[in-house]
Amino acid sequence: MSKKIGILFPGQGSQYEGMGRDLIASPVYKRAKDILDEHTYSVVEAARLEDLSKTRYGQVSIFLNSLSLYEELKDRLLEPNNIGVSASLGLSLGEYTALCAAGVFSIDEGIDLVKNRGLIMEEGAAGRGSMVAVMKTGLETIQDLVDQAREGQVLSVCNLNSPGQIVVGGEFEALDRFEEKCKEAKIKRYMRLNVEGPFHTQILDQAAQKFADEFLSKVDYREPSMEVYTNLRGSSYKEVDSIAENLRDQMCSPVRFIDCVENMIADGCQIFIEIGPGKSLSGFVKKINKNVRVINIQKISDIEDINLNDIIQI
């Protein structure tokens, strides 16, 4: 009997030099070549880290890489061995990959959505602030420091990634005050992130509405083939009609990754497979619950190295 499997898809920040070059001949990348403008596809194909670190290119590149690897995993391992996937979850951008993998919208629709999401988020947030990751500090303490440092500016918790990492985003001056408060509170580890703006904060309210009006509202969403967990609520989607609204609000609201993983485990997921660049989500899951099995797939060779006994109960 197969163990219950949940798949994980990373978000922006996981990109690396040369990402996707081993997958450029895959069907997903071929569709992207037809859909994306020539310049954007050339950036995706060249996969230079300097370019992939920009929101407008990084998001679509990570989406293509993760989805291509998932299709390879299905074709090479899951379907030939009659192994099903019960649930999917993505961090921020990765939620779009999770929805696409579950058949909620087509690959073509996913590419178009993610391309425009990256453009709109960059336009809405670039240069208007940043984000700080705080390590090994409780949410209550962090929220108290945020409240002290805000002083009428935008400053809020924006990512609850694991018990060991919570991210705060906001305007530059407010973040300076927050970092000073962290120092005064003798918090040992906190770091300013190399991002273009304060994502998942109210600074993106207008951008989120624009994205919803111009793009999310135009998609014909379908019933998912597996449970998909929403960053906004921390639980699985219950109604297809709520997807567009959830994705709109997700852009300017905290990512509740801890709640998502805890609910997936409560719903029976015993194995988590992170698919795409980086290993951050695997680390987060192990900090949330050290008893679950976590597998990481960054390249096709990682699929070939998977031991079936790690997935199938004998």
* 3-state SS track over 162-230: ECCEEEEEECHHHHHHHHHHHHHCCCCCEEECCCCCCCCCHHHHHHHHHHHHHCHHHCCCCCCCCEEEC
- Tell me 3's DSSP state: P
Q: Which residue among 14, 88, 130, 200 is the active-site one?
A: 200
Q: Which residue among 66, 92, 162, 236 is the active-site one?
A: 92
Clarify whether 39 is annotated catalytic: no
Two tokens at 8? 């994980």
Listed in sequence order, the DSSP H helices in 15-168 are: 27-35, 38-46, 49-52, 55-73, 94-101, 107-125, 139-150
Clarify whether 200 is annotated catalytic: yes
**Rounded to an integer, what distance in angstroms lies between the CA atom of residue 108 and that of residue 85?**
22
Two tokens at 150? 């805000």
Instruction: State the burial class of residue 237 (Cβ atoms within 10 Å of its Cβ: 0-12, 13-18, 19+).
Output: buried
**Rounded to an integer, what distance in angstroms lies between the CA atom of residue 159 and that of residue 53?**
19
CA distances from 224 to 3, 36, 102 (A): 20, 25, 5
- Tell me 4's DSSP state: P
By DSSP bridging, strand 165-170 and strand 155-162 are: antiparallel
Q: CA torsion 168→170→176→179, rounded to 10°?
A: -10
Q: How far is C-alpha 234 from the chain's CA centre?
A: 13
Catalytic positions are 92, 200
